Amino acid sequence: MKNPEIVFKFCPQCGSKSIAIRGSRSVYCPECDFLYYFNAAAAVAAVITSERGMLLTVRAHDPQKGALDLPGGFVEPGETAEESLRREIREELGIELKEARYFASFPNTYLYHGITYTTLDFAFHCTTDQIDHIRPADDVESCVFVEFDRMEYSKIGFDSIRNIIRTFIIGAGIK
């Protein structure tokens, strides 16, 4: 597990070895004034509910392959969070959302190819009238509906997703 600034051994602009970590999330090269920040990446997560409970996905790939998750993913440059959410749901579940309402955000870390990225996960409460047409794809192996009072928090892969689900369920006044 490595933070991205640790792996910068040379300045990517001038090749100097003088590049150094500056502060907690940037690298700086005094030779050519190169300065690069490692910002948190924006991500979105959908809490899709129906009379069967909350839709959870089973992750098809690492990190956290096999763990429970919410559908969603990284926001791409130029997208709004709402556009990103609808795109991810289309890609992962093959359906369109009806409503999507933002309710909370939580920070997360995401270990990928040996580098730990920091993210900020934005959570939306979503509805759809296409529940029966879900076709898991992409990062999603399968889907399950879990009743709010039967949530198994230990099977959820990421802390931020666990916090989102807990916040939603508390907010819904279930437990």
By CB under 5 A, residue 29 contacts Zn ion = yes
Distances (CA, A) of 131 to 7, 38, 73, 95: 44, 38, 20, 8
CA distance 74 to 88: 8
Q: Which stretch binds Zn ion (CB under 5 A): 4-12, 110-118, 142-150, 166-174?
A: 4-12
Q: Per CB under 5 A, does 28 bind Zn ion?
A: no
80-84-85 Cα angle (round to 5): 115
CB of 17 or CB of 52, closer to Zn ion: 17
Give the residue, chosen from 3, 13, 64, 109, that forms a contact with Zn ion under the rule CB under 5 A: 13
Annotate each residue in 134-163 with x if it binds Zn ion (CB under 5 A) or - if it does not, as one string. Answer: ------------------------------
Phi/psi region, residue 75 (left: phi>0; alpha: psi -120 to 50; beta: rest), is beta
| Runs of H (alpha helix) within 76-152 | 81-93
Q: Does 26 bind Zn ion (CB under 5 A)?
A: no
Q: 122 with 169: CB under 8 angstroms?
A: no
- For residue 15, the minimal CB distance to Zn ion (Å) is 7
Q: How many chain residues interact with Zn ion (CB under 5 A)?
A: 8
Beta carbon of residue 5, minimum distance to Zn ion (angstroms, whole number): 15
Indicate which single residue of 21, 32, 40, 67 sits in contact with Zn ion (rule: CB under 5 A).
Answer: 32
- Distance between start and end Cα atoms, the chain: 35
Binding site for Zn ion (CB under 5 A): 11, 13-14, 16, 29, 31-32, 34
